[in-house]
Structure 1
Amino acid sequence: MRVRSRSAVGGVALAATVALALAGCAGSSGGSGEAAQSGPRTVTVWLMNGSAPTTLTDALHKEFEAAHPEVTVKYEIQQWNGIQDKLTTALSGNDAPDVIEIGNTQAPKFAAAEVLTDLTADAGALSGDQWLASLKASGSWDGKQYAIPFYAANREVLYRKDMFEQAGITAAPTSRQEWLDAIAKLRATFGSDPDFQALYLPGQNWYSLLSFIYDEGGDIAKQDGTKFTASLDSPQAKAGLEFYKQLTEASGTKAPKDADEQTPEQAGIYGGGKVAMFVGLPWEVATAAKSDPTLTAKTSAFPIPSKDAGKTAPVFQGGSNLAIPAKSANQDLAKDYLKLMASAKYQADFAKAGMIPGTSSDTSALDADPVNAAMAKASKNGRSVPATPGWAAIEAGQNPLKDMLTAYLTGAKDIDAATSDANAALNKAFAG
């Protein structure tokens, strides 16, 4: 989950021919299943670049091999660019890896194709009682669990403490109204500078939009079994969209209405010293600090506030899951590997690295840093996008949520037309 989310970097959706290839190996174990084997064996693990810290994997592999004589861990770091196609090929072949990391929005595609091992019966041994709800949902399909949570992160409001102090803001906002009030004070204090922005909010930051929609009681889609129907035309979803517009107008943001937080990179804009707030991820502070190292000490954070005072808004939670390919030849070892990775010992290392652990409710290691602490507080109310195979195509292609935002914010469409068109596009993707 980088500047957007690890799950959003996965690449294009699987083509129809790929889906047929995957379906051809559905349900097959491809090897010896879970029966214990004797003699030397190798368990192949594919984790993504930049996910698990090296100190964690080094220690885990050493412990795993010590507990499994004659077993060697073949650890291969994969790149996000092109990983979906690479996984498609690997999962349909006879030399599949034994453990894989997959983005949480990729998981439903592979789960629906039945090329992942059903882990439903193993949930208890894999710390299932502490699974992060958003990632658990993304790893399930048709009532079965095909992937377990690995780690996650979510957005928060990053802000300049010094600017808040100069504007007379004595406490971080804990409601939408307090947020708007803070914006008004910041603009009153620094507004004489034509380059100042109280809040930098690009028009297509749909991750932020989701918080407002969720907070109003709405959602992207309604689920009925494995069927999803878009619901952006609900009164609740429209209310979330209306607040997004209110926020952009109140803040006086100069961010483009037809681009997302990466075009241009919002951390770089914040690093220019003329922005008081932006909605982002904790590690974007380090990116901004490349321009101005003093920003690290000047920056703090608060959870995206709810319309209800004292509450935090639900947040989109991006991240990764772990799964076992159905054709893994070492199912027994793969499950032991997941069990160790899901243990409190190693999940704590993710919290120390500034991530939300996927299989542990203990986020206390994040509390020492106010930026990480705000993310941890918000994580208790994390949500995922619809767990449908069609979502991979939505993110990789022309995202209807982005089009909806731009159309509404620019006045090209009224709210009814914008949400109706987005619904139609989403339903087409869901059906595909």
Structure 2
Amino acid sequence: MKRQLIAAVGVAAMVVGVAACGSDAKSGGDSGSSNTSAAKNYSGKTLTVWLMDGSAPKGWTDTVKADFETAYPGSKVDFQIQKWGGIGAKVTAALSEGSVDVLEVGNTQTAGYAATGGLLDITKDKAALGGADWAANQNESAILDGKQYAAPWWVSNRVVAYNKDLWTKAGITAAPKTLDEFYGDLDKLKTTAGVADAIYMPGQEWYVYFGLLTSEGGKIAKKDGDKWVGGLSSPEGQKAFETYKKLQSYSTTGPKDKDEATPQQKDVFGHGDIGTMIGLGWELPDEKALPKDKIGFFPLPGKTADKPSAVFLGGSNLAIAQASKNSDMAKDFLKIALNDKNEGLVAASGNIPNKASLNGQVAGDFAKAAQPAAAVGAITPNTPTWVNVENEPNPVKEFLTGALTGDYAAAAKKADDEIAKRLNQKQ
């Protein structure tokens, strides 16, 4: 799960091509019904589906395979689980050779795969796949130049994790509903015996800043005519930074020139003397370091109690390879893979499903804390060249360090210029 979330929730280091598809079935709720299966004959055909290691919820592949092979007698679904190491070259070859039909795609990578011609345009199939009900902020990553190249599968996002024992010791009895209440709780933790740090938050937590920027109505970058321009120098960017700076000021041990992975913040939080951290599910400490029942969760509050701060939505889409020789079969597979029954398995596994009507099935304390913010979350700029920005040295990380230690305007201008340069590079 960790490797999956690294790639799908943020660190898209290469644009290669992945896609996956699905089909409809006999569970209720989605358009496209099993009544169509009688008119289609996939007997003797095998659909090759690539998923990444640790990505599919437990039982999901077995259920989807059984549903599809029952709906289309004589057909076969061949799920092939791929390792992250070397996946780029492997996917590129598979897409060009037509040796894969359906692939899982990281949502920040989908535009890149679509732009290279690796993914099938499924715009006309969106309604039959249940697309009218897909969450708009999740589906944005599956669209390029107005065309649908994938279907949203699931997302996850960061939440506040806290040490229950330390919060109790500090006299905090309820999760904060606003940022001001959260600041008050951090003030209490600062003066509590045995607390080394109220919150562990290194200076380059750029995904946290991304969420705060989204809350202010800003963007890291946007189109100005046919060119991309950076958005950190905007009034929204500065407002978001003021909130970010205040949160980071409570972290006496978080280095201003490091991100959450250096060192791994789960190891820091696992020491047991840190009050709070902001992170993903896989960033939680090992059970031996800090038992799960000692950790609580809540969404990062907003300025008012009516909604939490926005978040970066990381996750996966399912798409069909352009070179697939079984594209009709792949579309019917997508209908089944994404129907309410099987998407419900996604929710029950602790991820956020692709439609709000299934949010009641989200299970697990972490996912339940993540779900409210997912509704107001966003993805990074949806362009094939976004990967250039995340390549090290990441200008957003450098901006945060520069603004925390020096002049905001100068740091923002430098980062905006570099973001625009990288986004406007030709592929």
Confirm or deny a common fold (TM above 0.5).
yes
Partner of 1:126, secondary structure, is coil
Aligned ranges 1:72-111 → 2 under 5 Å: 72-93=76-97, 95-111=98-114
Match of 1:335 in 2: 331
- Tell me, yes or no, if the aligned pair for 2:299 and 2:372 is still in contact at 8 Å: yes
Match of 2:22 in 1: none
Return the letter of the residue paired with 2:175: A
Aligned ranges 1:196-345 → 2 under 5 Å: 196-223=196-223, 227-249=227-249, 251-285=250-284, 287-293=285-291, 296-345=292-341
- Tell me, yes or no, if the aligned pair for 1:226 and 1:388 is still in contact at 8 Å: no
Match of 2:20 in 1: none
Aligned with residue 171 of structure 1, among 150, 171, 174: 174
CA distance in 1 between partners of 2:254 and 2:65 (Å): 45
Return the letter of the residue paired with 1:44: T
Match of 1:417 in 2: 410
TM superposition shift of 1:36:
6.1
Q: CA 1:205 to 1:184, structure 2 compared with 1: closer, same or farther past 3 Å?
A: same
Match of 2:158 in 1: 155
Q: CA 1:279 to 1:4, structure 2 compared with 1: closer, same or farther past 3 Å?
A: farther
Q: CA 1:305 to 1:38, structure 2 compared with 1: closer, same or farther past 3 Å?
A: closer
Q: CA 1:226 to 1:216, structure 2 compared with 1: closer, same or farther past 3 Å?
A: same
- Deviation per CA, 1:107-143: give whole Å up to 9, x if none: 0111122321111111111121221323311110111
Structure 1 unaligned regions, length at least 5: 19-34
- Deviation per CA, 1:9-28: give whole Å up to 9, x if none: 543346xxx9xxxxxxxxxx
208-217 vs 137-146, greater mean Cα deviation? 208-217
CA distance in 1 between partners of 2:90 and 2:391 (Å): 16
CA distance in 2 between partners of 1:12 and 1:135 (Å): 21
CA distance in 2 between partners of 1:223 and 1:36 (Å): 44
- Tell me, yes or no, if the aligned pair for 1:341 and 1:347 is still in contact at 8 Å: yes
Instruction: State the percentage of identical aligned residues.
Output: 41
Return the letter of the residue paired with 1:90: A
Match of 1:30 in 2: none
CA distance in 2 between partners of 1:396 and 1:40 (Å): 44
Q: CA 1:153 to 1:38, structure 2 compared with 1: closer, same or farther past 3 Å?
A: closer
Partner of 2:10, secondary structure, is helix
Return the letter of the residue paired with 1:8: G
Match of 2:36 in 1: none
CA distance in 2 between partners of 1:84 and 1:224 (Å): 31
Return the letter of the residue paired with 1:376: Q
Match of 1:27 in 2: none
TM superposition shift of 1:428:
1.1
Partner of 2:128, secondary structure, is helix
- Deviation per CA, 1:242-283: give whole Å up to 9, x if none: 22122111x133022222111111111111001111001234
Match of 2:420 in 1: 427
- Tell me, yes or no, if the aligned pair for 1:13 and 1:393 is still in contact at 8 Å: no
Q: CA 1:136 to 1:128, structure 2 compared with 1: closer, same or farther past 3 Å?
A: same
2:379 aligned with 1:384: yes
Return the letter of the residue paired with 1:120: T
CA distance in 1 between partners of 2:324 and 2:356 (Å): 26
What's the C-alpha RMSD, in Å, of the aligned pairs?
A: 2.1
Partner of 2:191, secondary structure, is helix
Partner of 1:316, secondary structure, is coil
- Tell me, yes or no, if the aligned pair for 2:352 and 2:367 is still in contact at 8 Å: no
The number of aligned residues is 402
CA distance in 2 between partners of 1:86 and 1:406 (Å): 36
Match of 1:349 in 2: 345
TM superposition shift of 1:410:
2.7
- Tell me, yes or no, if the aligned pair for 1:175 and 1:308 is still in contact at 8 Å: yes
Match of 1:31 in 2: none
Aligned with residue 140 of structure 1, among 128, 138, 143: 143
CA distance in 1 between partners of 2:166 and 2:70 (Å): 53
354-363 vs 224-233, greater mean Cα deviation? 224-233
- Tell me, yes or no, if the aligned pair for 1:149 and 1:359 is still in contact at 8 Å: no
- Tell me, yes or no, if the aligned pair for 2:209 and 2:240 is still in contact at 8 Å: yes
CA distance in 2 between partners of 1:252 and 1:102 (Å): 35
356-365 vs 418-427, greater mean Cα deviation? 356-365
TM superposition shift of 1:54:
4.2
TM-score (norm 2): 0.89
Partner of 1:383, secondary structure, is coil
TM superposition shift of 1:85:
2.9
CA distance in 2 between partners of 1:302 and 1:54 (Å): 25
- Deviation per CA, 1:22-46: give whole Å up to 9, x if none: xxxxxxxxxxxxx966651111100
CA distance in 1 between partners of 2:143 and 2:71 (Å): 30
Structure 2 unaligned regions, length at least 5: 18-38
CA distance in 1 between partners of 2:235 and 2:115 (Å): 31
TM superposition shift of 1:155:
0.6
- Tell me, yes or no, if the aligned pair for 2:134 and 2:355 is still in contact at 8 Å: yes
